A and B are shown apart, each in its own frame.
Chain A
Amino acid sequence: MQDDFTYIALADDDEDDRLFFTEAFEELKLKTKVDTFIDGVALMKALRDADTFIPNILFLDLNMPKKSGLDCLKEIKRNHKFRDMAVAIYSTSASEEDIENTFVNGANIYIKKPNDFKTLKKVLLDVVTINWQYHTNGLNRDNFLLRL
């Protein structure tokens, strides 16, 4: 069942962003299953509970109450169970500091939330169709931030 579609998860405290995200995937009509979590705590709880059900790609907002995206990232990267899960940072800001911190802590790609829906769909399509194996091997600081 897992092979049939790509399992995608998003942790974002912003309701509108969660809406844009799910609507974008609906319109893209890909074979995906999208789950959203309202903050880092909810995400980590779900990940801990789901033993076999691990997302293929996790989109992480950075600025979240209770548990920030960076904390989630660190926790995930410490856990061997999630070694095959790609982590995409999905944030409003693209400050050098945030980019540096998430890169060092093992995130796979950094996405700055686009300003219009068309771009959002394009970005999400790009991310889902990336050959992660290839991308992760050639990962470096220059292609970490997804440029459009």
Chain B
Amino acid sequence: MITLQWVYALAGAAFAAFALLGLRDRSNPRRFRNALFWGLMAASMWAGDRFGDFGNGLLVLALVAIGGIGLGRGTQGEVAPELRTERAARHGNRLFLIALVIPATALLGTLLFGHLPALVDGKQVTLISLALGVLLALGVGHGLLRAPAALPLEQGRRLMDQVGWAAILPQMLASLGAVFALAGVGEAVGGVIRLGIPAGSLFGAVAAFGLGMAIFTMVMGNAFAAFPVMFAAIGMPLLVTAYHGNPPAIAAIGMLAGFCGTLMTPMAANFNLVPAALLELRDEYGVIRRQFGTALPLLAVNILLLYGLAFR
């Protein structure tokens, strides 16, 4: 049976390749640090189950230490713009078609493999289908574009170094959620917030969750960081446990309420301040000002969607 372990083996191989190929990038002064970082990720994917809990904890501490002092990035492997333009003219919309192979396979696989429990682990069909989609897209891409076989890995390595330590941020935040759950953070915050919500008011709880996501996101500049906090505080104890809401709907729409907050905060500099500088606006908050009119009604819509869809 194909299980998630197969996907971890594939991901481990990808991280190992990123680590080894990066060592050849002499334009990156910190290439050894990068190689160690991605090498640890490869080790985690391949052998994480054998390290034990404390061993995995030490691995995380090492990743945090390396990421904390900073990774580097080089310039090796960049393709000349003229060559890309020429290739774009030659291949046209086929490029989008190849990209479409991944979500199409993930979607079809999820629907199809659910009926084949003997072949594929039913609990993880989407992730397994996603990995299959990546392999298919590489195959189709190789056939249609006639690219050298080593090119995808080398280009993938280049993009990985550009993402840097931020690549493990979602996994770190999901893990932080476990510590929050263990320490009873949800109960503690829920206790405080329940003081402010009328007792037994479902709409009050939903509104507090949506507004809380947006406000925490505005303060921190990052909806990903706000999510474990608000889910522990209101999402889990009130919306899921007390009101029996639908967990995926609560999580997904709550995250989008957070994205509304991202549109309204200078803390999300990448999206809001950097473009203002890039476009040479005199008002560095010019982009945020234009976004308020979309973000506020959309936040209200998200709260209503949550109220109307998640509790049926």
> Is B truly associated with A?
no
Residues of B near any A CB (own CB < 8 A): none
- Give A contacts to B, CB under 8 Å: none
